[in-house]
Structure 1
Amino acid sequence: MSEPNLLTERRANIFVITFNREEKMNAMTRSFLDDLKAALDSVKFDDTISVVVLKATGKAFTTGYDLDGSDWILSQNPIDVSGRLNLDRDREDIKALLEYWWAMWKFPKPIIAQVQGLCLSGGGELIAMCDLVVASETAKFGHPAGRDLGIPPTVFLWPMLIGMKKTREFLYTARLFSATEAERLGLVNRVVPAHELEATVDALAADVARTPANNLAILKQATSRFYENMGLFASGDQAAELDAVFHQSETFVQFFAKAAEDGLQAALHERRRRFG
């Protein structure tokens, strides 16, 4: 029997969700996202739970969306069609994925991300939906796929969180950046030594959970509204359209054609050779 995608645990009024795909560096698949939604839904209206913590097994928090295609996040597996996606169907798929993230954005309880190691691409969307992020000094962030495979429909909320100039730098160059830089830019609340990460998150979650759950829901909604009133949802819709267009690009098609012919590792090797 295969290992579950996630492990869950109740600690008094704190609900802990642990990503459990260590052998895949916690890359996110369709079933992974479905399981995460189910775990969150299980406590969404549970008055005994005040705070949710997301953490991960292994060396990586998550490397983003799993590219091997066996449990693809959208309805079209680009490896099966050598990257040549039906544009209309892809557009609808991406909009559905965007709605997944907006549902997490609207989740009524505070979510704290405990990040160690790599947090890449789709992982950036995940932590953008979290209220607080605590990272190990070893954590690295970024969107390597920006050069050739697409943009996330939420654009990680970077334009609002860190501004236009830095967002463009990270997207144009696809460079990874450290936890220290992420904290300075406002993407991360705290950076701590690796051996202090667990204890720091536990203490923070316990502190947040001292505030009554109903009050936390109001505080969260009040702060979210500032972004929503600035056009958050409309901007996401437009980014989803552009992501579908990106998926028609030659770089996208070439990557998945290579994966279909020679395997995913060969495609990744060629990508590293081309872009570094």
Structure 2
Amino acid sequence: MITVSQTGRVLNITLNRPDDLNPLCWQVLNELKTVLDGVLKDDTVGVVVIGAAGKAFSTGYDLREEHWITSQYPANFEDHVDIRQDRDDVHTIVDYWMKLWRYPKPIIAKVQGDCLSGAGELLGVCDLAIVSERARFGHPAGRDLGIPPSIMFWPMLIGLRKTKELLYTSRLISATEAQQIGLVNEVVPHEQLDDRVAMTAAHIARAPSDNLSILKEVSNTWFENMGMESSVRRGADLDAIYHQFDSFKDFFRTLRNEGVKAAFKKRRDLFG
């Protein structure tokens, strides 16, 4: 589900399910973890670039039962999922993202298209984001499915008011707006994205890995001292509560009975 290549001291990881718009599931996340663990102490790798094949970076967590991110598939319950199990599952997802947040090598997100909902968590733990002018960002699933427990790390990246605006409206924002509010570092013409990311990554990778790890840790420490992880953990608790709401159950019932297109159409009809 991912492919890997290396150029100089830059390791390139590509999400490679383009026909499905690169949704996130445990197989993808575990493959990513295996690759990153494998180069953790490899000094021939100074920088990691995470990109994706096809027209979307990722549309978020996979909605299909065989790839669902928590252990209880909502459509299998007449009432609600077990909240204790669900909370444990969501905290397991937090464990994953926090480990990636603290990964000692710099990680650059190369975003060529839509980066939506749960994919914002992957974007949020990357150190830099260089994106195509075609990229879009947002959390449409906030209308009925819940919140990624980190809220895509938006509060520390874009501030309180923009976080609330994007959560309340579930609107998608352009690459230009994402840069203006601080969600991404740079927007480039689509056809220049690969070269621009490669140039930036190679430049950063010229520094020794030990030096880069210290620069990353000192930057992250500011936000950790402000209580970032405790806020993310609280987000996991609140996500589990959200999963008890009727909208969550109803989305998956529609998805199973009528298909994914019908579920998305019903969301649009209900919420705009």
Give the TM-score of the pair, scaled to structure 1.
Answer: 0.96
Say whether 1:92 aligns with 2:96.
no
Structure 1 residues not aligned, in runs of 5+: none
- What pairs with 1:1-276 in structure 2 (closer than 5 Å)? 5-81=1-77, 84-276=80-272
Aligned residues of 1:83 and 1:255 also touching (Cα < 8 A): no
- Tell me the amino acid that sits aligned with residue 242 of structure 2: F
Moved more, 156-165 or 255-264: 255-264
- Tell me the amino acid that sits aligned with residue 208 of structure 2: P
How far apart, CA to CA, are the structure 2 residues paired with 1:7 and 1:95?
A: 28
How far apart, CA to CA, are the structure 2 residues paired with 1:259 and 1:225?
A: 42
How far apart, CA to CA, are the structure 2 residues paired with 1:146 and 1:178?
A: 18
% same residue: 49
Task: Give deviations 1:47-85, integer Å, cap 9, x for gaps.
Answer: 111000001100000001011222111111123335721
How far apart, CA to CA, are the structure 1 residues paired with 2:139 and 2:79?
A: 20
How far apart, CA to CA, are the structure 2 residues paired with 1:239 and 1:16?
A: 31
Q: What secondary structure sits across from 1:216 in the alignment?
A: helix
- Tell me the amino acid that sits aligned with residue 91 of structure 2: K
Task: Give deviations 1:113-137, integer Å, cap 9, x for gaps.
Answer: 1001100011111010000000000
* CA separation of 1:253 and 1:83: change in aligned 2, threshold 3 A: farther
How far apart, CA to CA, are the structure 2 residues paired with 1:73 and 1:130?
A: 20
* CA separation of 1:83 and 1:211: change in aligned 2, threshold 3 A: farther
How far apart, CA to CA, are the structure 2 residues paired with 1:261 and 1:83?
A: 16
What is the root-mean-square deviation of aligned Cα atoms in Å?
1.1
Aligned residues of 1:135 and 1:179 also touching (Cα < 8 A): yes
- Tell me the amino acid that sits aligned with residue 133 of structure 2: E
Task: Give deviations 1:81-126, integer Å, cap 9, x for gaps.
Answer: 3572110000000000011000100100000010011000111110
How far apart, CA to CA, are the structure 1 residues paired with 2:34 and 2:71?
A: 20
Aligned residues of 2:140 and 2:172 also touching (Cα < 8 A): yes
Task: Give deviations 1:240-268, integer Å, cap 9, x for gaps.
Answer: 00000000011111111222322333212
Give the TM-score of the pair, scaled to structure 2.
Answer: 0.98
Q: What secondary structure sits across from 2:57 in the alignment?
A: coil
- Tell me the amino acid that sits aligned with residue 20 of structure 1: N
* CA separation of 1:75 and 1:216: change in aligned 2, threshold 3 A: same
Shift of 1:30: 1.6
Q: What secondary structure sits across from 1:235 in the alignment?
A: helix
Q: What secondary structure sits across from 1:152 in the alignment?
A: coil
| Structure 1 runs (4+) greater than 6 angstroms displaced | none
Q: What secondary structure sits across from 1:195 in the alignment?
A: helix
- Tell me the amino acid that sits aligned with residue 41 of structure 2: F
Aligned residues of 1:13 and 1:49 also touching (Cα < 8 A): yes
